[in-house]
Structure 1
Amino acid sequence: MFEAGQVLDVLETLRKADCEVWIAGGWGIDALVGRVTRQHNDLDLLHRVEQEPAVIDALEGLGYAERHEGVVPGRPARFVMAGPGGRELDLHPLHFRPDGSAVQHIDDQGGAYDYPADVFVTGVIEGVTVPCLSAAQQVEFHRGYQPRERDLHDMARLRETLGIPTHF
């Protein structure tokens, strides 16, 4: 399990290494609503692709190592680093454009996912302002598949706290 203090430690380590990251997934939703609402098995981070060597070095310094088996999809879309206590980081490399938007390459056949510039916002974890993805982007990520219990929970927190329509 990832605790709030551990998330903040990862973010501070990456900040000190001059790496820009944004929280997505469950922790990103908790950052948007400003409180921890459930237990989290992992931490989803988006990062600048050109900073990836520094990101990996910084995380290795915290005891994380890239895990190759069972990661679907894998690179170029994402990769996983496993660390102390069984914690996992789900890392998503982004190619930023001059206008602040970004693209995530999904596969080697040209598949890509676009991020508008306005999805890169901030939230709060334990009173600390943290970079994360917008509520609208979080809702977008939850479309097109059968939601799990934790997805329903996360979308309910966005509705309750921010009044975001989630269509669940």
Structure 2
Amino acid sequence: MANNKANHCDNFFVAAPPSLKSCACWRRYTSFREMSFIMAISEFEIKRCEKELDKFIDEHRPPVHVRDQLDISYQIENQSVVLFEIRANFRNPSEKLDIPIAKATYVKTQKVWKIYWQKSDLKWHVYEPVATVKHLEDFLNVVGQNEYDCFFS
């Protein structure tokens, strides 16, 4: 007998026949589940985060004449904020590459932001010197100080 359980990224299973995965009701169910993760940060909090992130970006951007070769930006995805560099591809300068440099994920149950950095294995690792902070501003201060040269290259 074939296994008819759908595997989900958060390590629990939902019994569903394979034909149900293509039905509209299955798509609505998965969309609802994805929406619950998106709403981990309220719209008000997202606006406040954007304000702080814009301030950080303005303070740390390279000079205007360099920005076509190197710039920084951010993305808010689900309950995480990712800071990244925008660099010109050295093989094709007209092509831009987004290189993640720091990530903070809000853990609602603990009311903290977990700080991550990306090592050469291209995986996110907890930033051991300061693993969690209470406020996004504290995360931005840790990244801005870059005490152990983990974030900016």
Fold conserved between structures, TM > 0.5: no
Higher relative contact order (CA 8 A, sep 6+): 1
| TM-score, length basis structure 1 | 0.30
Structure label with greater radius of gyration: 2
